[in-house]
Each structure stands twice: as structure tokens, then as C-alpha cells.
Amino acid sequence: MLSSSFLLAAFVALSGPSAADAQLQPGVYLSSAEVVRNAPARPGHVERHQPARGHLVVVADGTHAVHHVPTAHAWGFANAEHQVFRLVKHQAYLVTHQDSVVLYSRPRTVQYGRNANTFTEQFFSIGLDGELYPLTRRKLRQQLAAR
């Protein structure tokens, strides 16, 4: 069985460069259409990206005005390092590759008694607005066949 890391690397190598490889403006994006246009609804520096708190805090460049954007209305955000995150059910997923199939990752910590291990979970969606699925051969094959 192929590991999801190998599957991810093979997919990215086959599909070549994508729109996610281009740097997106920092700020909060309210829809995937804004991501495609690289035009955030609230441009600026995302101060806090703790979606579970119910909002994102954005400081506008130039004016330094502070905006609180409800996560329920946000598609996602780009940080100062131009990393793009999609918000789904109060969780932020890093967009690692954007094409017809969008790849995501997020760290997950698992507690084993006093020890904790952090690993990277990988997900995918069909298009920017598609449902997120764990990145496995079986799920990827099912979703591509359903297209």
C-alpha cells in the first residue's frame, strides 16, 4: 500500500506548478473566487488565526485598522508568509497544492500518556469549494471516478 506522503508527492510531480505556487496577498478571503482573483475581502496582516474562537483578527496595511471577521463568513486566509489556509468546521487547513484537485495538510497532536507526538494529516478536495476527504488512494480514486 502506498503511503499518503508518496501519493501526495507523485500527484504534485505529475500535475506540475499550480496557482497555489503563486503568492497570494495576505488577508481574509470570503470566497474561493477571491482566492482565484488574488483579491482578499479584508487585505492585511492576519494577527490571530485561531478559527475555533469564532473570528479572525486582521490589521489593514497602511491604516492599521483592526477588523474582526467571523470565521463562519470566511473561506480562508493568507498569512504574511503567503501560506493559504482554508477554514472548514473551525479548523484551518494549509493549501499545499491548488489545481482541479486541491491538497491540504494540518498538524495533529496525539497524546500517549505523558508523551505527545505531532504528525501531518493530509486531505484533498475536488475544487476549492469541495468537501475535504482524507488523502488516501481509495478516496481519491472514488472522488475522481464520481466526476
pLDDT tens per residue across span 87-138: 998 889 999 998 889 999 999 999 988 999 999 999 999 999 999 999 999 9
Sorting pLDDT into bands at 50, 70 and 90, what band is 31? very high
Domain that holds residue 131: 4-145
Which pLDDT value is given to residue 93? 94
Strands of 89-144 (E only): list them: 91-97, 101-112, 115-126, 133-134
Residue in 145, 99, 107 with CA at minimum distance from that of residue 125: 99
Residue with cell 500535475: 15
The total number of structural domains that make up the chain: 1
Calpha distance 124→104 (Å, rounded)? 6
In this predicted structure, the answer to whether residue 86 has a pLDDT above a threshold of 90 is: yes
Calpha distance 28→44 (Å, rounded)? 8
Please state the pTM of the whole predicted model. 0.80
